[in-house]
Amino acid sequence: MPADFTPYRKLLKRVREISYLGSSAAALTWDVETYMPPKGLAFRAEQLAYLGSEAHRMFTSKKVGQLIAECEQHGFPPESDEAANVREWRRKYDRATKVPARLVEKLERTRTLAREAWKSAREQSKFRLFKPHLKKILDLNRQMADCWGYKESPYDALMEGYETGATASELRALFATLRPAIVAVLGPARERSTAIPANLLQGHYPVAAQQAFNQKVASAIGFDFQAGRVDTTTHPFCETVGPGDCRLTTRYDEQNFAQSLYGVLHEAGHGMYEQGLLAEHYGTPLGSAASLGIHESQSRLWENHVGRSPAFWEYWHPVACEHFPDLKKFSPAQVSAAVNRVSPSFIRVEADQVTYDLHIILRFEIESKLVEGALDVTDVPACWNEEFEKSFGLKVARDADGCLQDIHWSIGLMGYFPTYTLGNLNAAQLMRRAAQENPALDGELARGQYASLLKWLREKIHSHGSRHTPAELMKQATGEPTQSSYHLDYLKNKFVAK
């Protein structure tokens, strides 16, 4: 029960009312990506613009500010739920009140229309179709950054909404050390993969069979299908409508089952985090994820540390063969080697674990230049292609394989990409700590037993919501703030040692 303090109860009632608007927008957004008829787009843009701006107005009202101030003056015990919520409400309120509702409304409308323009541009591999929408998205993000304010870079203001305390300068320093370390792993890892044909597992994998197998795997690791579902979309994502309603999506290739499987494992990691947030705190900071870097740690952990391990395929190979007869000619070791093959490729969501962070570094560099005014939208394809060839040694022939492949810019998410690499770092650190605290973990995973790992993540990460900053949460869970060394050690041990 919340504290028996009237201003707090009023504040709690208000933020939960606001959360209903947000959950309604989430359901409508999911529908845009899955089942909405094309002619419904213009009206849907108006719906989402209204819901977004109305939620903003409700939260930024003077009454909410007064209630927060009264709660602060009341002085809840520092470690209490109430104190944590009030602290986060203050931070969010101070940030939100700097932005006019009309700007929020305009961004919501613009990104709904831009999302569909991106889909069409990607299908046709024509950046020019998306360019005017990207210009609007970029301009609105810059306006938002100016409203929020920043000390060094407008990119800092944008990142604050995804990863509290992160800055462009810190990321540049991190990536400056991470890039050469990854490149050092890439050479020998790629050499070891030369014996594995790129199309080794290519075969006939009907969508229905993929859906059935993916659901078995997702259920086994802990995703609750009584409180969630999986649908098909252009770009995989996870959308939480509310307690008991978490939607995952993936995409299918009937010649390559791994695309949908690892899409589902990734999104199920997000989904299990959402399902692990305490329902009684819904609509409050304690019922919300700590950050995107923490969120991505969950998806990368289940997708890679669990799903791409040799133990995973030792256990799941017989089940996979029941669904995919074409896999019977391969051993578990061959399947594991194939899904862990290291070779530079164009598409981020299909990238191997070694080159993945190079994709993120590329996006960060281009995105931060756009936001800081050092790169014009018109020059994005040329810049992307040039920098991609430098990092990956591959020439980009199609915009769909280059600057149009990701959905993030089209939905206004500038400042998001670095959280994927932060997620990789966090995932390795969490997995290492979980194994230290449970020496039997490797054996459990080899037997397809995932309950203790999920329980540990529930206790260390999920149940805390936004009680702590990302750095504080990682320190509490693992004994230290986020480090890059564990991720690099993991890559070396997996892809170079032996």
CB atoms within 10 A of CB 397: 11
CA atoms of 408 and 403, how far apart (whole Å): 11
Q: Tell me the catalytic residues.
A: 267
Q: What is the dihedral of CA 451, 455, 456, 459, to 10 degrees?
A: 180
For residues 83 and 89, give the distance between their C-alpha atoms in angstroms, rounded to a whole number: 10
Q: Which residue has the tokens 């707090």?
A: 8
Residue 257 · residue 429 · CB < 8 Å? no
Residue with tokens 């991190």: 174
Task: Identify whether the C-beta of residue 410 lies closer than 8 Å to the C-beta of residue 118.
Answer: yes
DSSP symbol at 399: G
| Residue 382 DSSP symbol | H
Picking from 304, 299, 305, the residue whose alpha carbon sits closest to that of residue 461 is: 299
**Furthest C-alpha separation in the chain:** 69
CA dist 56 to 52, 60, 100, 164, Å?
Answer: 6, 6, 9, 20
Query: What is d(CA 171, CA 417) in angstroms, rounded to the nearest whole number?
Result: 11
Side chain identity at residue 451, one-letter code: A
